[in-house]
């Protein structure tokens, strides 16, 4: 994979079966985020393939994206809207869920009262909780979570790991980038990225 004519990631390959979880770790600048964006189809690969259910993603964009949930550094929340409106109108594009369920998600993630405040008034941790609340109802099979635990307190981290476990047991797959180790019972495979020697 190239970034501005400079090889960033090369000689990388892994396969995910139902219920697999891969944790991508590596120093800053080793290309973790670029890898996640490439898996999500946002960044083109110089060469090499991303296959989904055995077929190239370029052949089945809408089917692949229907089964994909991608949460990057930027949370994908409209700060002018309230938490509940965000889930209903922004995340709701992917998972058409009844409004009542969104409120349940927000309660589950500990944002009862804050649900009606515009997102820009919430703290970074709360905003990330709003973005991650959709994990509870997301129908996606492939979860791509880029540094999901930043700014989260231990209680929220535990909740996210519970959702991850539920997702894996249901046969889903996930790729997570994080510096902090995931708890052992998730059985995450480690994928180490080292910084390319930049000439």
Partner 1 sequence: MGLVPLAGLICRREWLLAVRSPAQVLNPLVFFVLVIAMFPLGISPAPEVLARIAGGVIWVAALLAVLLSLESLFREDRDEGVLEQLLVSPHPLPFVVLVKVLVYALLVGGPLVLMSPVLGLMLSLPPATYGTLVAALLLGMPTLFLLGSVGAALTVGLRRGGLLLVLLVLPLYVPVLVFATAAVDAAQLGMPVRGHLALLGALLALMLVVAPVAAAGALRVTSEE
Partner 2 sequence: MGWLATWYHRWASPPWFYQMSGRWTRGLMGLALPLLCVGTLWGLAFAPADYQQGNSFRIIYIHVPAAMVAQSGYILMASAGLVGLVWRLKVADVVLRNCAPIGAAMTFLALATGSIWGKPTWGAWWVWDARITSMLVLLMLYLGVMGLGSAFRNEQAAGRASAILALVGVVNIPIIKYSVEWWYSLHQPATFRLTEKPAMPVEMWAPLLVMVLGFYAFFGAVLLARSRVDLLDRERRSRWVRSLVAEHAI
**Minimum CB distance to partner 2, residue 194 (Å):** 19
Specify the residue, 46 or 124, whose C-beta has the smaller distance to partner 2.
46
Q: Could you say which of 6, 17, 73, 74 contacts partner 2 (CB under 8 A)? A: 6
5 in contact with partner 2 (CB under 8 A): yes
Contact 8, 34 (CB under 8 A): yes
- Give one DSSP letter per residue of 20-66, joined into a string: -EEEEEE-TTSSHHHHHHHHTTSS--SS---EETTEEGGGGHHHHHH
Stretch that binds partner 2, among 2-10, 141-149, 151-159, 188-196 (CB under 8 A): 2-10
Interface characters, 40-79, with partner 2 (x: CB under 8 A): ----x-----------------------------------
- Smallest distance, partner 2 to C-beta of residue 7, A: 8
**Does 4 participate in binding partner 2 (rule CB under 8 A)?**
yes
Which residue, 32 or 182, has its beta carbon nearer to partner 1? 32
Tokens of 191: 């994928």
Backbone angles phi, psi at 193, to 5 degrees: -110, 125
The secondary element (H helix, E strand) that includes residue 7 is strand 6-7
Residue 92 binds which of partner 1, partner 2, none (CB < 5-8 A, kind-dependent): partner 1
Candidates 3, 18, 42, 66; binder of partner 2 (CB under 8 A) is 3
Cα distances (Å, whole numbers) of residue 78 to 86, 116, 121:
6, 14, 12
Q: Using an 8 Å Cβ cutoff, are 9 and 1 in contact?
A: yes
Pick from 188, 185, 124: nearest CA to 156: 124
Residue ranges binding partner 2 (CB under 8 A): 2-7, 44, 199
């Amino acid at each position: 994979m190239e970034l501005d004519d400079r090889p960033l990631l090369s000689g990388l390959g892994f396969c995910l079966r139902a219920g697999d979880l891969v944790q991508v770790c590596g120093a800053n600048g080793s290309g973790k985020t670029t890898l996640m964006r490439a898996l999500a189809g946002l960044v083109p690969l110089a060469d090499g393939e991303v296959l989904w259910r055995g077929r190239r993603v370029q052949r089945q964009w809408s089917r692949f994206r229907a089964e994909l949930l991608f949460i990057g550094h930027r949370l994908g929340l409209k700060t002018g809207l309230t938490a509940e409106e965000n889930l209903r109108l922004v995340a709701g594009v992917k998972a058409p869920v009844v409004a009542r369920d969104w409120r349940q998600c927000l309660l589950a993630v500990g944002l009862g009262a804050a649900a009606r405040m515009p997102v820009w008034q919430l703290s970074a941790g709360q905003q990330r909780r709003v973005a991650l609340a959709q994990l509870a109802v997301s129908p996606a099979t492939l979860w791509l979570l880029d540094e999901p635990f930043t700014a989260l307190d231990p209680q929220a981290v535990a909740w996210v790991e519970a959702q991850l476990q539920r997702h894996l047991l249901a046969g889903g797959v996930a790729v997570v980038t994080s510096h902090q180790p995931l708890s052992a019972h998730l059985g995450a495979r480690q994928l180490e990225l080292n910084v390319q020697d930049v000439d």
